[in-house]
A = this chain, B = another copy of it.
Amino acid sequence: MKTVSFEDLQKELKNRNINLSYQRLKILQYLTNSQIHPTVDQIFTDLHKDIPTLSKTTVYNTLKLLVQSDLAKVLTIEDNETRYDINIENHGHFKCESCGEIYDFTIDLDSIANKELKNFKINDKKVYFKGICPRCLN
């Protein structure tokens, strides 16, 4: 699973004429460093320790910007928690129903394209699994 470097992300932003403010930089760093597919609240709470003036609205705005620019993806594994993934490569997500942790896994999404959909234009594919992770099985 390829990971896009932080520098590449900065370039991408410039390509799209998106200014890199201090807040945007910090949110982007948080997303690239953490592998936890965070919620808005996790991002806000963690960053708020360093940036006491940070507004939650800014977090929402920035994430919307990143998603619209195809630099991040929205994960809706549960109906009550929206998560964000800076890794836009195609891959699946497994959520442990016991500890709540979310695991990435590689998946060949091309192989699951379906004949029934041959006349459909497919722009996005999401694969979500749920169950119990090995750590919790012990």
By DSSP majority rule, is chain A's interface helix, strand, loop, or mixed?
A: strand
Answer yes or no: A78 CB below 8 A from chain B CBs: yes
Beta-carbon contacts under 8 Å, A104-138 to B: 105-107, 111-112, 114, 116-117, 119-134, 137
Copies in the complex: 2
Chain A contributes a number of interface residues (CB within 8 A of B) equal to 35
**A123 lies within 8 A of B114 (CB):** no
Closest approach, in angstroms, between the C-beta of A58 and any C-beta of chain B?
A: 19
- Residues in B with CB closer than 8 Å to A133 are 120
**B131 lies within 8 A of A128 (CB):** no
- Residues in B with CB closer than 8 Å to A128 are 125-128
What would be 10 A-B contacts, judged by CB atoms less than 8 Å apart? A76-B78, A76-B79, A79-B82, A94-B120, A94-B122, A105-B114, A117-B129, A123-B131, A125-B130, A127-B128
